[in-house]
A = this chain, B = another copy of it.
Amino acid sequence: MSLYGGFTVAEPVWSVDPRTGKPRERVAVEATAEQVDDAVRAAAAALPALAERSVRSRLLRGAAGLLEEAAADVVAVADAETALGTPRLTGELARTAFQLRAFADVVDEGAFLDVTIDHADPDAKPIPRPDLRRYKIPLGVVAVYSASNFPLAFSVPGGDTASALAAGCPVVVKAHPDHPATSELCAGLLRRAAEEAGLPADTVVLVHGFQAGVELVRHPLVAAAGFTGSIPGGRALYDAAAARPRPIPFYGELGSLNPVVVTPAAAAERAERIGTGLAASFTLGNGQFCTKPGLVLTPSGPDGDRLVEALTSAASAAGPGVLLDSRMRDSFLKGAAARAELPGVTAPVEAGDAGELSVRPGFLTVQAADLAAEGAGDLLLEECFGPLTVVVRYGGEAERDAVLDRLPGNLTATVHLSEREAEAGDGPAAALLGRLTAVAGRVLVNGWPTGVAVAPAQHHGGPYPATTSTFTSVGATAIERWLRPVVHQDTPPALLPPELRDDNPLGLPRRVDGVAQVAAASA
């Protein structure tokens, strides 16, 4: 919104082609405070209709189907707005549909309700115990802040929306300005899926605009928020959520270095394979992954040199690419240049401007000793979003650990071990794994962190700033963010919700008098 002589003029929202920098089409206008209020109230009105689990599951499966039906259109629009390419976006759409159905399965199973029943015990010590029956209920309207780098999987139809709907929460999504047309298209599909499932279309509402996002997190009827983005933006919204008269949980994913450690034995065994694998991982999607390996501890000496040589070849061969928008491009070029100029830093492959709005991937090297103390090297411990990684050469465990001790929290941490180290079990490899566990939410051995499987055991989160909470935004347990427990005490059977009745009419897995019960019969 801008003010001209006292009149409020709605700011237009343009879809922009990052390959040309030219506006594609005018998609919408930024929401005013009143429009945000309308959006939240409309979503709040949909809350009761979501109470039935079966309708949520229908909505999620319906949305997955509609997304697949519209795949050609959605991928074309998303590619035009993000330059991420058709193959990647086709894969992302498949993953997004899979994720919607995975949450439908979670809803159908009902384990997330965490049903726990303790029957009354008049003989309990130290005092008689009443009848207590607990389960989880939806928190209310959820605000979802879309990510720039995943226009589908972490945006309008993505994991935050899917898990919130699975929990029974209506969603107001704040579109990312990098893909407003894709956002409108996907919101339309979700709203159609809602109506086809017998729900109000306003079960999912879309708003555009920076200020609208701020209004959203402050709205009294918003009960929780999910966010994927940068540290400054995420922290500002986190602070706003915490400063409300009634604070709300803000589940933000803000940034991650994703450290990798290559042991001397691993480098001795397969330096070239690791160097090549690293190049593929840090340049994937033009380095625009939250899980991009951004700091790679590589041993000093000839084996590490071989790794760096392989990395140099592979990174040099990687073609230039267009970043998501011009602001990110500028920020990447400035960030890469500032890091390259630090004392002790060299750039075997220099990241930089490749002309025609594209950038060239590159990597830096630095000695561990230059990073061990606070000071000039600090910038190297901050994420640089885009196709850049930093190889840190270390001389021994002490140097390696001094760097690890300085790391902020991460989504992932990876170690490359030799075959013998992997088989040997306890000892230095186990100790190293312990150190990595302390600074990350996902710890990988002999792999690359880019790519986050949607699975029950997944955890996509980590110590701050990786996430602002201990929860995950990917995988079955992402639903836990949007629920709160309620216990019913001494409630007459006729008034109990069906989830809490002794005869378990919904066939839910539950814990009764301390004993876990697998579902008696599927609902």
Contacts and interface: CB of A to CB of B under 8 A. Distances in A.
Interface of A: 91, 94-95, 98, 111, 116-118, 124-127, 129-130, 132-134, 137, 139, 238-239, 242-243, 246-247, 249, 408-409, 417, 422-426, 429-430, 433, 437, 440-447, 451, 453, 455-459, 461, 463-465, 468-470, 472, 477, 483-492, 494-495, 509, 511, 514, 516, 518
Given A127-B451, A429-B495, A440-B486, 6 more contacts: A117-B457, A118-B458, A134-B459, A239-B242, A444-B490, A445-B492
A452 to B, nearest CB: 10
Indicate how many identical chains form the complex.
2
A453 B130 contact: yes
A523 to B, nearest CB: 16
Nearest to A424: B494
Nearest to A131: B457
Nearest to A519: B516
A238 B133 CA distance: 30
A95 B127 contact: yes
29 contacts: A117-B457, A124-B453, A127-B453, A130-B453, A132-B453, A132-B455, A137-B437, A239-B242, A239-B243, A242-B243, A246-B409, A246-B463, A246-B465, A247-B464, A249-B469, A249-B470, A417-B492, A423-B494, A425-B494, A426-B494, A437-B486, A440-B486, A441-B485, A442-B486, A445-B488, A458-B487, A459-B486, A470-B483, A516-B516
Contacts of A95: 126-127
Contacts of A433: 491, 495
A126 B91 contact: yes
Interface centre among A98, A437, A459, A468 (most CB of B within 10 A): A459
Nearest to A125: B98
Max chain B Cβ within 10 angstroms of own Cβ: one of A127, A134, A242, A489: A489
B118 A430 contact: no
A516 B514 contact: no
Contacts of A453: 118, 124, 127, 129-130, 132
A494 B420 CA distance: 11
A118 B457 contact: yes
B133 A457 contact: yes
A495 B425 contact: yes
Contacts of A463: 246, 484
B457 A91 contact: no
Nearest to A97: B126
Closest 8 CB pairs between A and B? A425-B494, A242-B242, A94-B126, A132-B457, A470-B484, A422-B492, A459-B487, A116-B457
